[in-house]
Amino acid sequence: MDSTWAVVTGASSGLGVAFAHRLASEGANIVLAARSEDRLEQVAADLRSRHGVRTRVSPVDLSSPDGRAGFVEEVSRTPVSHLINNAGFGTLGDFAEIDPARVTQELELDVVALTELSRAVAPGMVSRGRGAIVNVASTAAFQPIPGMAVYAAAKAYVLRFSCALWDELHATGVRAIALCPGPTQTSFFANAGNSEVMGRRRTPEQVVDTAWIGLKRHRPYTVDGLGNWGLALTAGLAPVRLQTLISRGIVSR
């Protein structure tokens, strides 16, 4: 029996559940992490019954330095085949008006936890000469977004960090990729403060397909959906004033 594990953060809903099913369908044993223990147990039971894999449930608040320390330590001692750094949230609203505690939690989760977990698995993957780190960024990474300033900046970090990691790990057999979804059918926008924002949405399964193609092609980053690719490639070409004008218009619709 395979002794390695795939670690999926944010595995209690949305994209994380789709990642867990994809990995389990390929025979991976899954460590599921998020705060909602009940939902994680449900996902784990479903994975075991549908795919016959082993599961471990880790209820953890990854935005809390104390809360995540034990989990990061546990992951560093686990032979990890895939790390899916997927847990994340955003906040809609002007920076001067949003809850400062929420700003800190957003950075701790979207940036610090992702970085610490990548650091926890990278040495083991390099020594085994294989493994994959999928860091979930966003199309928000490609331009500043007034009304979602912290989220867009955090995802820009994820994109840059992952692309550098891709290069550093290139020759070792280990893959790293930043996945940039656009609006997707999950609880993300409801949790960010407005479920009505953004119209057409992709499915979590389509986003996971895109990640798998990107890994297969050994890309440093990938964008889900043709329209999103177009926006991502052109966003940086516009002057900053135009970028912010357009992106504010989109999030405040």
Ligand X SMILES: NC(=O)c1ccc[n+]([C@@H]2O[C@H](COP(=O)([O-])OP(=O)(O)OC[C@H]3O[C@@H](n4cnc5c(N)ncnc54)[C@H](OP(=O)(O)O)[C@@H]3O)[C@@H](O)[C@H]2O)c1
Any contact of residue 225 with ligand X (CB under 6 A)?
no
Residue 4 backbone dihedrals phi, psi, to 5 degrees: -90, 165
Across the strands, what pairs with 5? 29, 80
Any contact of residue 15 with ligand X (CB under 6 A)?
yes
Binding part of the chain for ligand X, among 20-28, 31-39, 47-55, 95-103 by CB under 6 A, reads 31-39
Q: What tokens were used for 195?
A: 């479920």
Any contact of residue 117 with ligand X (CB under 6 A)?
no
Distance, in Å, from the CA atom of 221 to the CA atom of 160, rounded to the nearest integer, reads 9
Q: How many residues bind ligand X (CB under 6 A)?
A: 29
Any contact of residue 89 with ligand X (CB under 6 A)?
yes
Whether residue 221 lies in the annotated active site = no
Across the strands, what pairs with 29? 5
Specify whether the CB–CB gap between 128 and 81 falls below 8 A: no
Q: Which of 142, 151, 157, 161 is catalytic?
A: 151
Any contact of residue 58 with ligand X (CB under 6 A)?
no
Distance, in Å, from the CA atom of 40 to the CA atom of 59, rounded to the nearest integer, reads 8
Binding part of the chain for ligand X, among 13-21, 48-56, 125-133, 234-242 by CB under 6 A, reads 13-21
Nearer to ligand X, 164 or 190 (CB): 190
Q: Please name the amino acid found at residue 224.
A: D
Nearer to ligand X, 87 or 149 (CB): 87
Please enumerate in sequence order all residues whose Cβ is within 8 A of that of 161, keeping only pairs 6 or more positions apart, or say none: 114, 115, 118, 135, 178
Any contact of residue 104 with ligand X (CB under 6 A)?
no
Any contact of residue 25 with ligand X (CB under 6 A)?
no
Nearer to ligand X, 3 or 75 (CB): 75
* Strands 5-9 and 221-223, bridge-based pairing: unpaired
Any contact of residue 118 with ligand X (CB under 6 A)?
no
Among 8, 24, 34, 47, interactor with ligand X by CB under 6 A: 34
Of 189, 197, 110, the closest CA to residue 155 belongs to: 110
Nearer to ligand X, 16 or 214 (CB): 16
Please give the angle made by the CA atoms of 229, 114 and 190, to the nearest 5 degrees: 65
Of 16, 7, 17, 12, the closest CA to residue 136 belongs to: 16
Residues numbered 152 to 211 that lie near ligand X (CB under 6 A) are: 181, 183-184, 186-188, 191
Element at 58 (helix H, strand E): strand 55-59
Nearer to ligand X, 173 or 249 (CB): 249
Q: Which residues bind ligand X (CB under 6 A)?
A: 10, 12-16, 34-36, 39, 60-63, 86-90, 109, 136, 138, 181, 183-184, 186-188, 191
Question: Which residue numbers are catalytic?
Answer: 151
